[in-house]
Amino acid sequence: MKLSVSNSRGKDAADRDWFIPEDGRKQLTQLFAKLPNPVVLDVFTDGDEKNAFNGYTRRFAEDISLLVDKISMHHHALDSEEAKRRDVTLSPTLFVGTGEADPALDYRIRFTGAPLGEEGRALVESIFLVSLRQSGLTETSRRILSELKEPRKPRVFSSPGCPYCPGQFMHAAKCAIERPGLVEAECVNSDEFPDLSKKYGVGSVPHTQYDDAHKAIGLMPEERFVLELVTLKSADDLMREHGMEPGHEGHDHAHGAHGMDPEGLDVVETDMVVLGAGPAGLSAAIYGERSGMKTVVLDKSVVGGQVTVTPVVENYPGFTDIAGLKLVEVLSAHARQYATVREGETVHEVKIGKFIEVYTNRAVYLCKALVFATGAQWRKLDAPGEGRFYGRGVSYCASCDGFMYRGKRVAMIGGGNSALTDALHLKNLGADVTIIHRRDSFRAEKALQDSLEREGIAVIWDTVVEEILGDTVAPVREGDGGDGKDAAPGTAPAEPDTGVVRGIRVRNVKTDAVSELPFDGVFVAIGHIPNSEQAAELGVVLEKDGSIKVDRHMRTNIPRIYAAGDVTGGVRQIVTAVGSGATAALAAFEDTQNPYWKKKGD
């Protein structure tokens, strides 16, 4: 059975009981207005009326198809011949393609499960790329992918609350567009299909299953994703085989930054480069451009930083409460009105000369001022088992992984704002949460403590985690977030094997009593470590805690180098990050006009 949906936007569309809200329809209509080529959405469902996701997917696709003439939608039964041809066995399933009769010419981009939440972003971007008939891969990625000779079916497990998952899946989707005869990309909503997630040991997202044996956890740089797709081997291992340090796979040539030749890379001249697209970086971009400085923002991951994975923000002026991701969207949209913001671009080296030279995996930037707004990464417990069970019960991101622990027992380690916010989020998702805190009182805001008490979340005081316990199973390898050390949203040090978390061994710091507590998951929120390594390599002075030392103008000890946000330590709040970003940009503008480091008369 196949049902085609008319593209008429007449009376039927006007009277329709829309699934997509009016504001969303207006935005999507504007986005899709200039689609150059037709796009076909094929939806497969099993007819189970109790499965709400069937209705969500079908109505969502129907709504999209009624917005513009270039998009059409067909509905198929799960027991249809078309389902057999495409090897569809799970409901709902949605394909984005060109509608070409020859399977070798159509793009195979599959969403298994309703593309809701963050996965909706990936669906919209997939529609764009399919309509353009262009993959959007970098030249480096295209060259690597041209070596592929055998079929690949990368499967990216995601969750609706994970801001990193769309980026990881889009790597796969771009490969499917670049090599339509060989690559099929699949995005699996891990929350809808727990049995499939369990089969592949999914405990943290994004989880990429390249084949039955090769897998990775975390958001990866595009070039690294493509390399592992082609070779089915760890990119780190491949680079070490060729005498290279992990994290530098994006370069094209043989000299220059970390031994790479900038010849062939785009050379971009600008006034200011901001490293990091969190609140501090975005604020610096706005104030820099408004001061007259042409600004480029670079981020190795996605826009937003830590705020992206903050479930609810209740202390940002102007908003009584707002989802972290929504706040990021507001800040990002504002910044993009002024500056160029580039995600997924890893900085490999910075050189200081007449111009400051910033070398990335895609370009060389020549600028007059550089702002480090690189933020901070999650601090690890450094407890035995932490690395071994990462992605199998250990997580640093409640927004990303919380869906998988509904109805399960989880421990939240920490006592600050982040720990309590995440604990409340997990409780709201339906998890049985217990907070483990090494002190006898919280450092978090009183409002959060009051919410914790109202929700009846248990707390174990004066206790530290000695070891994370679990059952050992087949090994899994972590993905890399772009610096060779940490995957987004965060990983623990790799250990020889992996398993499934069953509990933790804890010690009371006052009595030294040791006990074992049963848990299905462990979430860690015990502070942050500043991402200041590249600044230190330049000779920038750091504080004892590793944060970048700045004056009240956000200047470092090196002229033309500034820092803002969490990487400078102090009060790590969104509002202070935004303020410091603005201050850094204004100082950079003032200094380019009146260099304080030059003597009068020079």
Of 397, 480, 566, 591, the active-site residue reads 397
Distance CA 476, CA 172 (A): 20
Whether residue 175 lies in the annotated active site: no
What's the maximum distance between 2 C-alpha atoms anywhere in the chain?
Answer: 83
Distance CA 281, CA 536 (A): 19
Whether residue 400 lies in the annotated active site: yes
> Packing angle between helix 22-32 and helix 119-132, nearest 10 degrees?
30
Residues near 576 by beta carbon (within 8 Å), at least 6 away in sequence: 570
CA distances for 300 relative to 344, 360, 464, 512, 585, angstroms: 4, 9, 33, 43, 21
Letter string b/e over residues 19-49, b meaning 16 or more CB atoms within 10 A of that residue's CB: bbeeeebeebeeebeebeeebbbbbbbbeee
Distance CA 400, CA 410 (A): 15
Whether residue 367 lies in the annotated active site: no
Residues near 197 by beta carbon (within 8 Å), at least 6 away in sequence: 157, 188, 190, 404
Positive or negative, the Cα torsion across 127, 132, 133, 135? negative
Distance CA 349, CA 298 (A): 13
Question: What radius of gyration, in Å, describes the C-alpha atoms of the chain?
Answer: 25
Q: Where are the beta strands (DSSP E) in 140-257?
A: 155-158, 184-189, 207-209, 215-217
3-state SS assignment for residue 149: coil
Of 106, 175, 400, 591, the active-site residue reads 400
Beta bridge partners of 377: 529
Quickly list DSSP for 294-313: -EEEEESS-TTGGGGG-S-B
Burial of residue 54, with CB atoms counted within 10 A of its CB: 0-12 exposed, 13-18 middle, 19 or more buried: buried
The residue written with tokens 């796969």 in the block is 172
Of 191, 236, 401, 486, the active-site residue reads 401
Just list the catalytic residues: 397, 400-401
